[in-house]
Amino acid sequence: MTATKIAIVGVGKIARDQHIPSITRNGAFELSATVSRHSGVDGVENFATIEELLAGRPDVGAVALCMPPQARFDAAWTAIKAGRHVLLEKPPGATVAEVEALIAAARDEGVALFATWHSRYAASVPAAKAWLAKRQVQSARITWKEDVRRWHPGQEWIWQPGGLGVFDPGINALSILTEILPQPVRVTAAELQFPDGRDAPIAAQLQFAGASGETVSADFDWRQTGPQTWNIEIETNDGQLKLSSGGAEMTIDGKVMMQEADSEYDGIYARFAQLVAETSIDVDLAPLVHVADAFMLGRRIVVDAFEM
């Protein structure tokens, strides 16, 4: 099978740390071009704009969009209309409506569209989903706390409108939650802490409720130094399930059931290869809808200024 030539648009930290290694390991793709005004990849042709890429490289059949979400819609729309398959880094867009427009465009043009949620490809997530499917969820608690300076060094876009702030990592937890819960939940209340002078929150506390009486709380914070915390604890009628390390480890009633190294982006590109082969669309908006609802319902609290 001939590998699909793919281009990365936005050669930043996430592209270098995750996308490029996973593309290199996946025989279904060949990294053939990049789009970046500031950097590129040695030995790979670079273009200043996606328009120049699409005009100059008709052989590139797919693009992985790794730029900040505020700029992603225009690039995705342009690529789709040029007949290219599109992979969207998370979150898939700055608004729900623009992602819905991309779904319609991809359907009209007959190309694959993939809104990635990399945390869903953590090792223990499928096993957690299967375990919960046979039980009644009573409550869940999400604790997702990390150091923004470590994971987003110098990236001011995250504090701008559409950058999501602490929901940039928090949406990873929500992508796992919406994948593994047997029944959906809805946001019922939220408190969002905005640093003085910033347009996106640095911390958030959310409450959710489900139709069967289950409750979920989420505590997101970007100010944690030292060890990072990515945990989801779920109480059921038949024991407690805990996902830790972002879904890499699963315990049942305190007993470790699974513990595996990170392979999330390898899973993403395996899925994208399948979608390209089938010319299919895989876009789940549930995590982004929860974030949008949190902004709609959230009580805004101004906290001390924060500098990167």
Taking only the tens place, the pLDDT of each residue in 117-149 is 999 999 999 999 999 999 999 999 999 999 999
- Catalytic choice (5, 13, 81, 90): 90
Mean pLDDT of 32-39: 92
- Are 177 and 283 contacting, i.e. CB atoms less than 8 angstroms apart? no
Residue 81 known to be catalytic = no
Q: Which two tokens stand for residue 273?
A: 């290869």
DSSP letters spanning 108-122: HHT--EEE--GGGGS
* Residue 270 neighbours by CB distance under 10 Å: 15
4-115 architecture in CATH? 3-Layer(aba) Sandwich (3.40)
Residue 261 has pLDDT above 80, yes or no: no
pLDDT of residue 263: 84
What is the spatial distance between Cα 192 and Cα 167, in angstroms, rounded to a whole number?
10
Same fold, 4-115 and 123-260+293-303: no
Mean pLDDT (the chain) is 96
State the pLDDT at residue 3.
Answer: 96
pLDDT, tens digit, for every residue of 188-211?
Answer: 999 999 999 999 999 999 999 999
- Pick among 1.10.760.10, 3.30.360.10, 3.40.30.10, 2.40.50.180: CATH of 123-260+293-303: 3.30.360.10
The domain segmentation of the chain, as residue ranges, is 4-115, 123-260+293-303
pLDDT interval class at 40 (50, 70, 90): confident
> What pLDDT score does 259 carry?
84
β-strand partners of 31: 6
3-state SS, residue 68 = coil
SS3 of residue 102 by DSSP = helix
Instruction: Tell me the sheet residues that pair with 193.
Output: 203, 301
pLDDT digits (tens, 9 = 90+) for 161-183: 999 999 999 999 999 999 999 99
Q: Residue 89 in contact with residue 109, Cβ under 8 Å? A: no
Tell me phi and psi for residue 93, to 5 degrees. Answer: -170, 175
Q: Report pLDDT for 126.
A: 96
The length of the chain in residues reads 308
pLDDT tens string 64-102: 999 999 999 999 999 999 999 999 999 999 999 999 999
Q: Output the pLDDT for position 38.
A: 84
